[in-house]
Amino acid sequence: MNVMRHSPRRDRALLLAVSAAVALTACGVTSAEDGKGPDTGAALKIDAIAVDKKAQAELPEALKKSGTLKVASELDWPPFSYKDDSGQTTGIDVLMVQAIGKKLGLKTSIADLGADTIIPSVQNGRYDVAVSQLVTTPERLRAVNFVDYIQNTLGIIQHKDYSPQVTPGDMCGKTFVGTQGTGPLDFTRQYSEKECAAKGKPKMTIHVFDKSAATILAVGNKRGVFLTNRAVGEYVAATSGNGLVMGKETIPGSRTLSGIAYSKKQPQVGKAVQAALLSLMNDGTYQKILERWKVTDQALKTSEIRNETGS
């Protein structure tokens, strides 16, 4: 497998031309809680969510006293976590973690980090949790624990004029792009080894970028195609204005779970987050958040805690 690494810095001028859905951001922010953003327009008032006393009781005392849930994320990954045209922090993950914070009686502060630094920032205790459509993988489970909150399937996003067009049944030997530290990149690499090389087919060529916005820009510049969560691909194709199209077919074997990451040293944080999430599922808020971005097909019926030994 040919893996190439590129920095988004040299393409900053072009990145600024990509829509707000993939705008670069590099600073910590405190997210607003009214949930505005380019979505279905459904009203959802996060501020109206009441504290769940049972979930709140699960919090470690230090976090309860701090009054703030510190969250690591990457804010250029629509529709999960991003900034809208007005600079408002929004998305599925943003509203979900804000709603969890409300259930726990905590304010929510979300910091914008690079994809490959999100997990380490929770490991070292700088942030309480991380949420950025983080796919639960064995490698990540060795570093942190997860609370399940959504399921995913992958599809192919590519430029409408990319030639030849790539389909799920014809990916070996083709050129792909991916973002460092992400689940779709892991899947692309594994597919290249197991479905291509191991079966005597040519491996994929994979260009790796440090930020999601740079990855999307590369697709728009026809430097390759991109395996991505279907919700992400459909959103970006509809909003980028960059000639991108999202295929309707799902990549076989690509179903995964995404979770809210927390430190193995802080098991009570995970229990509190899980309890708050289950409360959101029970009162219908969870479903309303997914409905707002038209991804109810990715909903889970319950939430489990994942670690190295299983759930």
Q: What is the pLDDT of residues 224-274, one digit of tens each?
A: 999 998 888 888 888 878 899 999 898 998 988 999 999 999 999 999 999
Asked whether the predicted pLDDT for residue 207 surpasses 70, the reply is yes
**pLDDT of residue 31 exceeding 80:** no
Residue of 232 and 8 predicted with greater confidence: 232
Position 192 scores a pLDDT of: 98
Find the helix or strand (DSSP H, E) in which 71 lies.
strand 68-73
Instruction: Indicate if the pLDDT at residue 152 is higher than 50.
Output: yes
Of the candidate ranges 189-203, 243-257, 297-311, the one whose mean pLDDT is the lowest: 297-311
- What is residue 297's predicted lDDT score, i.e. its pLDDT? 82
Long-range contacts of 37-45 (CB under 8 A, 24+ apart): 37/82, 37/84, 37/88, 37/90, 37/91, 38/84, 38/85, 38/239, 39/79, 39/90, 39/292, 39/293, 40/291, 40/292, 40/293, 40/294, 42/288, 42/291, 42/292, 44/95, 44/285, 44/288, 44/289, 44/292
Q: Average pLDDT in the 181-195 region?
A: 92
Give the angle subtended at the CA of 292 by the CAs of 84 and 306, to the nearest 5°.
Answer: 95
- Strand 154-159 and strand 129-135: the pairing is unpaired
| Residue that wins the pLDDT comparison between 239 and 34 | 239
Residue 185 buriedness (CB in 10 A; 0-12 / 13-18 / 19+): buried
Per the listing, tokens 């479905």 go with: 195
Of all residues in the chain, the percent with pLDDT exceeding 90 is 66
**Average pLDDT taken over every residue of the chain:** 85
| Region 3-18 average pLDDT | 32
Residues, the chain, total?
A: 311
